[in-house]
Amino acid sequence: MSGPKVVRIVTREEILAICEGHLQRLAQAFAHWQRQATRLGELDDASLTTTLERHDRLRKLLLEDQLAQLQAEVPLEIGFLERDLTQRQERAVAKASLARNAKRNLRENATTLLGALEHSASTDASLMEALRSIAQGRAMSDAAAVVAKGFSSLATAVNDTELSESQRHLARALQIERPDRWQSSQNEAREPRMQRIDEHLAQLQTLYGDSAAAPYLQRLEVIEAQSASSHRNMLLDSLVLDLAAATAGYQAQSTRIASLRTLVAELEALVGHEASGLLMQTEDCLASSQPDKQRVMTLSEQCREAIAQELGRRAAIARRRAVLDGLASLGYEVREGMETAWAQAGNVVLRKTATPGFGVEVGGRAESGRLQVRAVSLSGRHDRARDRDIETIWCGEFSRLRSLLATQGNELAIEKALGVGEVPLKVINLEADSGSSATHSVSRNST
């Protein structure tokens, strides 16, 4: 196919920019992974060392010109970091949830022990005071030991004549088999809602801070102060739903903020001071303790657009330069200002001394990567019998151009092509003082 062609070009500069963007995103993903895992106390030296070694290897791929491998492996590594951090977060939340459960169990056990020992004269007053503190939710470093001591006091309390029959019955129940087994059975019997509430609260506190959980802790305290009733159950159900919505909302916002930080780093590295206005806006947004959701989304989109525009601008320059340099190496006349003329007019025509009266037209918006190339006549009075020969010559030159670009790390792919002679040779009457065709009259038979 030696007639007019539609081609797509990807330059080495574009591929390098893509690879550098991948590495920039990897750096941000690693920083987030390390920062969050360290804060949670879930990062060990061995994991950190192994991860750094993997990233060093990935960065070396750029120096070794293994660009395709880099483009394939870096996104996989970023995905791994995200999954690994999720697992570390889940472990930290599970630990926090267990701690909340243990604290709640101690409080409930202390309350039960108080009911059994309240009127026993043999019970130490200081023990009873400590049990009251635990039952009221006040923090005590030796709470577990106090509760264990309370169970030990039950043996005496069972035979205490000052206790009512119901209190002695409760004390005997608490003494059945081992106290720790009774505590375990009580924990298993707790209503599932409280388990879910503790899990949500642990997630909010562990991942997003005490302030995120504070309003729900206050609601829970008010609910727990009420006696069992249908209204209390309704409040607990409502709290579970609100906590689920809150944790999902915080998680989504956290993802949005992490994405914006990555975009900011990429934009800063790519554009720098030229994007100072947008960078200042994002800095102000991220500095807030609770960034506005809509603002985060808007700034993220603006950053994506700015990055895409800059990458497109650089890619277009690289594409035009690569094609013009390649044609120059084939003997076509490339003059100063042709890149600008092409960018402004959307096409450019190049002469060749070896084939007077004929040339090559290259057109299309280089920003898209899709170009049109074709042999053309520079005069309406040319010998049409030579048209097929000119297109045949151009066929060979086009193949040489593709090979030349390939050796430089560029790719020129044909998307559409017509055969020799399928359409008449396009005629372009260049002005006498124009060597580049930015301004010309055309007698066209276009594809």
User: Given this model, what pLDDT does residue 184 score?
Assistant: 46
The yes-or-no verdict on residue 128 having pLDDT over 60 is yes
128 phi/psi in degrees, rounded to 5:
-65, -40
Query: C-alpha 367: how far from its chain's center?
Result: 26
What residue ranges do the domains of the chain occupy?
330-443
Q: How far apart are the first and last CA of the chain?
A: 14
275: β partners:
none
Model pLDDT for residues 380-436, shown as the tens digit of each residue: 676 777 788 888 888 899 999 999 999 998 999 998 888 887 888 888 876 444 444
Q: Which residues, including other chains, have CB under 8 Å from residue 432's CB and lie 6 or more apart?
A: none
Residue 94: pLDDT band (50, 70, 90) is very high
- DSSP label at residue 218: H
What amino acid is encoded at 281 in this protein?
Answer: Q
Residue 166: pLDDT band (50, 70, 90) is low
With contact defined as beta carbons under 8 Å apart, do 424 and 387 qualify? yes
With contact defined as beta carbons under 8 Å apart, do 33 and 83 qualify? no
Taking the C-alpha atoms of residue 406 and residue 400, their distance in angstroms, rounded to an integer, is 10
User: Given this model, what pLDDT does residue 441 score?
Assistant: 35
Averaged pLDDT of the chain: 84
Query: What DSSP line would sit under 234-290, residue for residue?
Result: HHHHHHHHHHHHHHHHHHHHHHHHHHHHHHHHHHHHHTGGGGHHHHHHHHHHHHSSS
Taking the C-alpha atoms of residue 65 and residue 10, their distance in angstroms, rounded to an integer, is 16
Residue 168: pLDDT band (50, 70, 90) is low
Taking the C-alpha atoms of residue 173 and residue 165, their distance in angstroms, rounded to an integer, is 12
Taking the C-alpha atoms of residue 239 and residue 215, their distance in angstroms, rounded to an integer, is 11
Residue 187: pLDDT band (50, 70, 90) is very low
Out of 16-25, 298-307, 337-346, 431-440, pick the least confident: 431-440
User: Given this model, what pLDDT does residue 164 score?
Assistant: 61
User: Given this model, what pLDDT does residue 185 score?
Assistant: 47
CA geometry: angle at 249 spanning 243 and 253, to 5°? 145
For 360-388, what is the HEC assignment?
Answer: EEEECCCCCCEEEEEEEECCCCCCHHHHH
Model pLDDT for residues 39-51, shown as the tens digit of each residue: 999 999 999 999 9
Residue 200: pLDDT band (50, 70, 90) is very high
User: Given this model, what pLDDT does residue 442 score?
Assistant: 36
pTM of the model: 0.75
